[in-house]
Amino acid sequence: MTEKRQTLEVQCPSCKQTVLWDRNNPHRPFCSAQCKNQDFVSWANEEHSIAGDPLHDGVLSGDIDLD
């Protein structure tokens, strides 16, 4: 029995180029190491963020007195 795999195409999050989602692409979902690294640097420079609940923003800040 042979298994037919479906080809999945996604857009590179950095440059929007169409790229195959394939195990042979070590940079997936990015098209290249350059786009992957560019995205990493953007996160490190806090140009990207994940939306959160302001009520819980200080939980890990050490400003909360638990006593």
pLDDT in tens, 8-27: 999 999 999 999 999 999 99
Sketch the domain layout of the chain as residue ranges. Answer: 9-46
Q: Each residue of 26-51: pLDDT tens digit?
A: 999 999 999 999 999 999 999 988 88
Average pLDDT score over the chain: 84
Burial class from Cβ neighbours inside 10 Å (0-12, 13-18, 19+) for residue 10 reads middle
Give me the percent of the chain exceeding a pLDDT of 70. 72
17 annotated as a binding-site residue: no
6 annotated as a binding-site residue: no
pTM of the prediction? 0.64
4 annotated as a binding-site residue: no
- The amino acid at residue 56 is H
Give the contacts of 15 (CB within 8 A, at least 6 positions apart): 31, 35
15 annotated as a binding-site residue: yes
In the chain, the N- to C-terminal Cα span, in Å, equals 64
